[in-house]
């Protein structure tokens, strides 16, 4: 089937997220929808897949105007979307999740889902693709890649003809990516239309037949593939971007700030044993790994937010194994979670109140100082917001910038989960500039990121996590992004 | 704010009040009473003269005391339903002092007030420990501790503290004169000490909440405890302190009940004032500035209901008792909450419409 | 087994029944992601109204129906306030629990301490002849039999039916439910109201069953809170919820046995604390993760089998209001 978008517009309040977008997706093609974070690609795809209504414009399928409300209706029209964070229910089993929301096949099935026939169908499709999905596993026990696989299987079982994938390669390993891409190619050969939403040029180059590029809500270019990375960059940004160069630092003479000695910790099924790591002032350690492989657990354990089961945690030559987060916080340890507004910022408090909360001690609040300092942060971190705006009034990117701006100027140790989540390239490099500035002054940075390139670019050393096991890469310049992709899939032997 | 916006806001505040008064009137009619005389009796028995105002103040004092504590706990995001039990424990501790310490008033009164504060505080901290250490939600911890506190009081009244002449399990022996709180005057029997403490408490807690780091930390914990923790706030300590303070004020309220109002310890000594405090704080939307004024109206209703009940024997058209006032108060809060929602919806839609026109 | 013991067990089954019905109702509501905190008052008002209507009309059925209707209306008020008007769910529930308790007291004055209709005991033929078990389980009023059936129905509905999938998904991850074509808000209204109707029925099961009649200080006051705690203790699983309700009933019956024993001298009022202490202890056990740790110790195979029953996490989206515009 061929899909045509005509003059799609979408407004969120004052924000014009999609500006008069017209595009055609021919049958059997893999189309890349390329653009930075916040360029409007996800919004456009949500409109196409029925998750959000367009403010104006038409969708035509094979020349016929369609008018649907809701994702189910889009699926009935043959359009299905795989969200970046798959929309499944953690407490369901694979089988329950597979059946949930599908048209019943028979009268009994209408009331009581027919387990055996669903199981057979699930088995036949998964076997076909070489996926391994145990129907009785809980969704919450699956990896992101497995949850993606299940969503694809589910959508295919509902006869979806056009499959939209939103950033599907974020958080999966190189092997999982190869498997995914080969299946997508196979499906396109069978006549399906695949729309790949991504900001990663290499993915688009590897997979797509054609691309459409969005910038600030509008289409700024369309072309047939193949194209070189440079050509795509020019389309995306209108200019070449200088790639940030990593400087080799000699840290041997710096003091050791953090030392993990035989450290063990566990959370649920995830167990980490005998971790050794010593970090010198000014060093940047990148934690690479699939979602839930231990990066977060490790950072929380270092921060004192999760108990150490065995071994020692030494900070500034003091054994702090049994100390709390507050003890460490008072001595210059900062931890920022990836959840932003849920974990890190406080909805309902203004920017100034956030600054006042993190500055100074004692009962009295120096509001004058807090306001001045807020002004500085707004300017330095390019926050689009006012002093008295409450934090939830800000966009996600601005919230992230506020969170980063709240980190004190000379921390000893920064533990940051996904410090540039949801930021476009410009803002991300702005944040990195500020972080590296602190490192140059002797702060240690330990961070995680699902973007392997970010890890390779900024880390002095990389700690790869896989199912709780760790592997230390001493010199990131010796490995490529693909090699790292294999390593996070558990292949430590290069 | 335009005149139109203002009148809409005013309307959406007045309508729920009128509606709840009308609905309660309907209930009175249903039971064959006369709403007009019920309401006028309520009004007269509250605001007629000095004596009735004193009666209202004697409800207002404990009500405001518990509410001061509740504003603190609500700001910290805690549903301190245990406030009733904290009042009872305050009353029990004060009663012990009143019954067993034989001291001159100048010593006994402060000691008893401190005892009451400690009783309430301990019971409040217990809720906090159950929550922070054992993960028992403060609503359940509170409900259980309320029941336990009342059982303890009943046990004491019927057992160890039974009046020498043999008790009916209705109360302890009346407290000696030197244990009772001195009042303003005979015509205006309001305990001066507690009136002063209440007003000072209002001012101090209001100041702490709005102008100090502690207030900001409470607010941060209340809105998002996890984030507050990561931003360096000692959340457990803040929660415990909020509950301790809430309990302390509730304990003082309990002291008023036993050292002045009843002059003895009785079962269910709190008289539902703790729960009324929760309603009051919801009603004023956690804004301490409105609390004393709105609290005065609620206190008037409760004080009036006692009189209503007393008059019923001679005037049968006056149906209802404290439960009638409870219904009126409950309806009022429910309606206010509903109309808050209606107002928010209204202005959100209004804003959206204007935004559309703007484009 | 002697007759006294059989009688005791029989009365435990009977006295647990209203708790079972109310907490199963609340389980349904909370599984859909809504907390109806009004249980305590809701039970009182529906108990009073059910008794009053049954007394006036001499129709037990009409009384039961009115009780359920009142429970449903209160639940609707919670749903409307929180889902449509976006006000604090806990606040609305709390205000309603006070309001309805006062309303019950106010309107129930004329019905205090009078004789009224009581549900008849129905002995189930054949089943009641089974030795021991027959006497314990099959000589009860209709409320008790209904509670047996209700457990089975709720269990099958929740875990075996299509609609049950939607119900659970709405409480766990509303966005996912929405993406599968479920109207989240409608479902939440539906299950809040159904849960409320069951709470109302529980009220009738008191005033027309085990604690027949209506008093100035109603005997069932406080049980609504216990029912709410049982839902948590039961890990939102119907079978464990019912187990929890029986546990409380057993404890209460022990209390009354100790009370009657002349050799044990513990004041009654202090014994009355036991259910509340048990409530706190059980909640601490569940929240402290003891059950989760026990689960981890089992072999994987058993973990899977018992997962539904042993888990103690609340529905992920409990108490959050779904807004599709995000």
CA dist., res. A56 & res. A83, Å (int): 23
Average pLDDT of the segment spanning A5-19: 86
- What is this structure's pTM? 0.91
Q: Is A90 on the interface with C (CB under 8 A)?
A: yes
Confidence bin at A490 (pLDDT 50/70/90): confident
Start-end of H helices in A265-366: 295-303, 325-330, 351-358
Tens of pLDDT, residue by residue over A207-254, are 999 999 988 888 988 888 888 888 888 887 776 555 666 666 777 788
Look at phi and psi of residue C117 and say left if phi exceeds 0, alpha if psi is from -120 to 50, else beta: beta
Q: With CA atoms as reference, report the closest residue to B173 among B150, B186, B195, B156.
A: B156
Confidence bin at A494 (pLDDT 50/70/90): very low
Q: Return the number of CB contacts < 8 Å for B and C.
A: 129
Q: What pLDDT sits at residue B359?
A: 40
Which of C45, C53, C106, C227 would best serve as a mutation to test chain B binding (most B beta carbons within 10 A)?
A: C106
Q: What pLDDT sits at residue A110?
A: 63
Scanning every residue of chain C, which has its alpha carbon at the shortest distance from the alpha carbon of B319?
C106
Q: Tokens 């997979």 map to which residue?
A: A207
pLDDT over 90 at B305, yes or no: no
C317 to chain A nearest CA, in Å? 11
Taking CA atoms, A199 is separated from A21, A37, A208, A458, C181, in Å, by 18, 7, 13, 19, 29
C138 to chain B nearest CA, in Å? 34
Is pLDDT larger for residue A115 or for residue C18?
Answer: C18
Tokens of C112: 């205090």
CB atoms within 10 A of CB A123: 12
User: What is the percentage of chain A residues whose pLDDT exceeds 70?
Assistant: 95
Burial call C247-278: b when 16+ CB within 10 Å, e when fewer: bbbeebbebeeeeeeeeeeeeebebbbbbbeb
Scanning every residue of chain A, which has its alpha carbon at the shortest distance from the alpha carbon of C166?
A100
Tokens of A394: 């800000």
Question: With a CB-CB cutoff of 8 Å, which residues 25-54 of chain A face chain C?
Answer: 51
Q: With CA atoms as reference, report the closest residue to B344 among B19, B77, B16, B8.
A: B8
C307 to chain A nearest CA, in Å? 10
Contacts of B130 in chain C (CB under 8 A): 280, 284
CA dist., res. C268 & res. C258, Å (int): 9
Query: Of the spans A67-71, C5-9, C153-157, which averages the highest pLDDT?
Result: C153-157
Q: What pLDDT sits at residue B353?
A: 65
pLDDT over 80 at B300, yes or no: yes
Q: Is C160 on the interface with A (CB under 8 A)?
A: yes
Confidence bin at A199 (pLDDT 50/70/90): confident
Q: What is the DSSP string of A304-320?
A: TSS---EEEEEETTEE-
Q: Which chains touch B (3 or more CB pairs under 8 A)?
A: A, C
DSSP code of A197? E
A396 to chain C nearest CA, in Å? 12
Measured between CB atoms, which of C162, C176, C304 is closest to A87? C176
A276 within 8 A of A294, measured Cβ to Cβ: no
Average pLDDT of the segment spanning B198-209: 96
Question: With a CB-CB cutoff of 8 Å, which residues 301-320 of chain C face chain A?
Answer: 304, 307, 311, 313, 315-316
Which of these ranges, A470-484, B301-315, C143-157, C289-303, has the smallest mean pLDDT?
C289-303
Contacts of C90 in chain B (CB under 8 A): 79, 139
A43 within 8 A of A52, measured Cβ to Cβ: yes
Measured between CB atoms, which of C96, C106, C284 is closest to B134? C284
pLDDT over 60 at C325, yes or no: no
Tokens of C158: 């929740």
Tens of pLDDT, residue by residue over A280-325, are 999 999 999 988 888 999 999 999 999 999 999 999 889 998 899 9
Which of these ranges, A330-334, B164-168, B322-326, has the smallest mean pLDDT?
B164-168
Tokens of A12: 């969120």
Q: Which secondary-structure segment (H or E) carries A12? A: strand A3-12
C224 to chain A nearest CA, in Å? 28
CA dist., res. A355 & res. A360, Å (int): 10
B274 within 8 A of B80, measured Cβ to Cβ: no
Q: Is C162 on the interface with A (CB under 8 A)?
A: yes
User: What is the percentage of chain A residues whose pLDDT exceeds 90?
Assistant: 36
Q: Is B227 on the interface with A (CB under 8 A)?
A: yes
Contacts of A70 in chain C (CB under 8 A): 178, 181
pLDDT over 50 at A65, yes or no: yes
Question: Mean pLDDT, chain C, as a whole number?
Answer: 89
Query: Of the spans B274-278, C109-113, C135-139, which averages the highest pLDDT?
Result: B274-278
Question: With a CB-CB cutoff of 8 Å, which residues 340-359 of chain B face chain A?
Answer: 355, 359
Which of C82, C85, C92, C312 would best serve as a mutation to test chain B binding (most B beta carbons within 10 A)?
A: C85
Taking CA atoms, A489 is separated from A271, B68, C48, C176, in Å, by 17, 57, 64, 28
* 3-class state of residue A464 by DSSP: strand
pLDDT over 90 at A172, yes or no: no
Confidence bin at C326 (pLDDT 50/70/90): very low
Q: What pLDDT sits at residue C1?
A: 58
Pairing of strands A218-224, A210-215: antiparallel
Scanning every residue of chain C, which has its alpha carbon at the shortest distance from the alpha carbon of A80?
C179
Verify whether the Cβ–Cβ distance C106 to B327 is below 8 Å.
yes
Tokens of B131: 């929550």
A365 within 8 A of B211, measured Cβ to Cβ: yes
Is pLDDT larger for residue C299 or for residue A45?
Answer: A45
Gap between the terminal Cα atoms of chain C? 62
C51 to chain B nearest CA, in Å? 17
B280 within 8 A of B295, measured Cβ to Cβ: yes
Verify whether the Cβ–Cβ distance B79 to C84 is below 8 Å.
no
Contacts of A365 in chain B (CB under 8 A): 211-213, 216
Q: What pLDDT sits at residue C66?
A: 97
Q: In degrees to the nearest 10, what's the CA dihedral of C13, C16, C18, C23?
A: -130
Q: What pLDDT sits at residue A243?
A: 61
Contacts of A112 in chain C (CB under 8 A): 160-162
Q: Tokens 């500034």 map to which residue?
A: A316
């Amino acid at each position: 089937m061929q899909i045509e978008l005509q003059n799609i517009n979408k407004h969120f309040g004052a924000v014009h997220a999609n500006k008069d977008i017209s595009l055609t997706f021919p049958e059997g093609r893999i189309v890349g929808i390329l653009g930075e974070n916040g360029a409007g690609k996800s919004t456009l795809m949500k409109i196409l897949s029925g998750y959000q209504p367009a403010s104006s414009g038409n969708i035509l399928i094979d020349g016929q105007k369609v008018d649907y409300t809701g994702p189910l209706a889009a699926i009935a029209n043959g359009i299905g979307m795989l969200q970046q964070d798959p929309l499944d229910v953690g407490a369901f089993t694979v089988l329950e999740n597979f059946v949930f929301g599908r048209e019943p096949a028979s009268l009994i099935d209408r009331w009581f889902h027919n387990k055996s026939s669903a199981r057979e169908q699930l088995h036949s499709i998964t076997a076909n693709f070489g996926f391994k999905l145990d129907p009785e596993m809980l969704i919450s026990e699956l990896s992101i890649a497995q949850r993606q696989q299940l969503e694809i299987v589910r959508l295919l079982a509902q006869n979806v003809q056009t499959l939209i994938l939103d950033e599907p390669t974020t958080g999966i390993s190189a092997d999982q990516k190869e498997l995914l891409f080969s299946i997508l190619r196979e499906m396109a050969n069978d006549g399906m239309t695949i729309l790949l939403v991504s900001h990663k040029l290499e993915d688009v180059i590897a997979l797509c037949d054609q691309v459409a590029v969005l910038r600030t809500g509008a289409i700024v270019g369309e072309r047939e593939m193949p194209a070189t990375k440079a050509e795509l960059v020019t389309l995306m940004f209108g200019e070449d971007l200088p790639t940030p160069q990593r400087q080799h630092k000699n840290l041997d003479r710096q003091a050791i700030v953090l030392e993990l000695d035989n450290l063990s910790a566990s959370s649920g099924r995830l167990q980490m044993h005998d971790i050794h790591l010593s970090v010198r002032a000014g060093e940047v350690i990148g934690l690479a790994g699939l979602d839930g492989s231990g990066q977060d657990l490790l950072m929380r354990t270092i921060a004192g937010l999760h108990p150490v089961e065995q071994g020692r945690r030494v900070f500034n030559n003091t054994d702090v194994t049994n100390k709390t987060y507050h003890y460490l916080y008072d001595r210059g340890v900062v931890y920022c979670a990836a959840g932003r507004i849920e974990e890190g910022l406080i909805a309902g408090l203004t920017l100034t109140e956030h600054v006042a909360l993190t500055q100074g001690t004692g009962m009295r609040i120096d509001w004058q100082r807090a306001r001045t300092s807020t002004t500085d942060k707004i300017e330095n971190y390019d926050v689009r917001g006012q002093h008295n705006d409450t934090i939830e009034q800000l966009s996600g990117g601005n919230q992230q910038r506020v969170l980063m701006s709240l980190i004190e100027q000379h921390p000893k140790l920064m533990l940051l989960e996904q410090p540039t989540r949801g930021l476009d390239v410009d803002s991300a490099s702005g944040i990195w500039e500020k972080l590296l500035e602190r490192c140059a002054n002797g702060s240690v940075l330990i961070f995680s990121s699902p973007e392997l390139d970010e890890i390779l670019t900024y880390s002095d050393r990389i700690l790869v996590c896989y199912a709780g096991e760790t592997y230390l890469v001493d010199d990131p310049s010796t490995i490529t992004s693909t090699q790292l992709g294999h390593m996070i899939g558990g292949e430590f032997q290069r | 704010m335009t005149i139109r916006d203002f009148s809409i806001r005013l309307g959406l505040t007045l309508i729920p009040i009128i509606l709840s008064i009308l609905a309660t009137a309907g209930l009175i009619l249903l039971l064959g009473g006369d709403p007009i005389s019920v309401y006028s009796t309520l009004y007269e028995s509250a605001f007629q003269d000095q004596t009735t105002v004193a009666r209202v103040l004697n409800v207002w004092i404990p009500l405001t005391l518990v509410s001061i504590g509740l504003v603190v706990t609500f700001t910290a995001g805690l549903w301190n339903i245990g406030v009733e039990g904290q009042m009872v424990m305050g009353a029990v501790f004060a009663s012990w002092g009143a019954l067993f310490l034989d001291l001159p008033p100048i010593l006994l009164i402060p000691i008893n007030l401190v005892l009451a504060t400690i009783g309430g505080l301990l019971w409040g901290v217990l809720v906090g420990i159950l929550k922070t250490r054992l993960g028992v939600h403060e609503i359940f911890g509170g409900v259980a501790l309320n029941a336990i506190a009342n059982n303890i009081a009943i046990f004491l009244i019927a057992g160890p503290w039974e009046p020498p002449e043999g008790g009916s399990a209705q109360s302890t022996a009346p407290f000696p004169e030197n244990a009772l709180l001195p009042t303003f005057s005979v015509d205006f029997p309001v305990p001066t000490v507690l009136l002063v403490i209440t007003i000072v408490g209002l001012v101090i807690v209001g100041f702490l909440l709005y102008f100090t780091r502690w207030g900001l930390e409470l607010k941060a914990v209340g809105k998002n405890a996890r984030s507050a923790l990561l931003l360096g706030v000692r959340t457990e300590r803040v929660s415990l302190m909020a509950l301790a303070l809430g309990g302390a004020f509730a304990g003082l309220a309990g002291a008023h009940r036993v050292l002045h109002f009843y002059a003895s310890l009785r079962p269910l000594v709190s008289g539902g004032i703790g729960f009324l405090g929760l309603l009051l704080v919801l009603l004023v939307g956690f804004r301490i500035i409105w609390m004393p004024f709105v609290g005065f109206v609620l206190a008037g209703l409760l004080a009036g209901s006692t009189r209503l009940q007393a008059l019923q024997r001679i005037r049968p058209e006056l149906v209802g008792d404290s439960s009638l006032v409870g219904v009126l108060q409950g309806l009022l809060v429910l309606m206010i909450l509903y109309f808050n929602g209606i107002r928010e919806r209204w202005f959100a839609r209004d804003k959206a419409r204007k935004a559309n026109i703007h484009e | 087994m002697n007759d006294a013991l059989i009688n005791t067990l029989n009365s435990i089954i009977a006295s647990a029944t209203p708790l079972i019905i109310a907490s199963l109702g609340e389980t349904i509501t909370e599984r859909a992601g809504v907390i109806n905190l009004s249980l305590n008052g809701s039970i009182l008002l529906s108990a009073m109204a059910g008794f009053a209507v049954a007394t006036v009309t001499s129709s037990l059925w009409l009384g039961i129906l009115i009780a359920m209707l009142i429970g449903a209306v209160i639940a609707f008020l919670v749903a409307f306030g929180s889902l449509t008007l976006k006000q604090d769910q806990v606040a609305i529930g709390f205000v309603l629990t006070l309001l309805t308790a006062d309303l019950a007291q106010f309107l129930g004055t004329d019905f205090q301490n009078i004789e009224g209709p009581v549900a008849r005991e129905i002995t189930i033929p054949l089943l009641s002849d089974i030795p021991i078990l027959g006497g314990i389980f099959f000589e009860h009023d209709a409320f008790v039999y209904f509670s047996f059936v209700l457990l089975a129905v709720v269990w099958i509905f929740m875990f075996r039916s299509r609609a049950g999938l939607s119900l659970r998904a709405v409480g766990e991850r509303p966005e996912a439910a929405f993406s599968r074509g479920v109207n989240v808000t409608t479902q939440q209204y539906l299950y809040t109201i159904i849960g409320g109707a069951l709470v109302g029925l529980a009220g009738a099961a008191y005033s027309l069953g085990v604690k027949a009649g209506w008093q100035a200080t109603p005997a069932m006051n406080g049980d609504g809170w216990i029912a709410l705690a049982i839902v948590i203790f039961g890990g939102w699983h119907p079978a464990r919820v019912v187990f929890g309700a029986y546990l409380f009933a057993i404890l209460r019956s022990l209390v009354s046995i100790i009370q009657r024993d002349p050799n044990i001298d513990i004041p009654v009022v202090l014994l009355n604390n036991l259910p509340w202490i048990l409530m706190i202890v059980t909640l601490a056990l569940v929240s402290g993760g003891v059950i989760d740790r026990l689960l981890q110790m089992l072999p994987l195979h058993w973990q899977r089998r018992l997962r539904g029953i042993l888990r103690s996490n609340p529905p992920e989206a409990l108490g959050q209001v779904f807004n599709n515009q995000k």
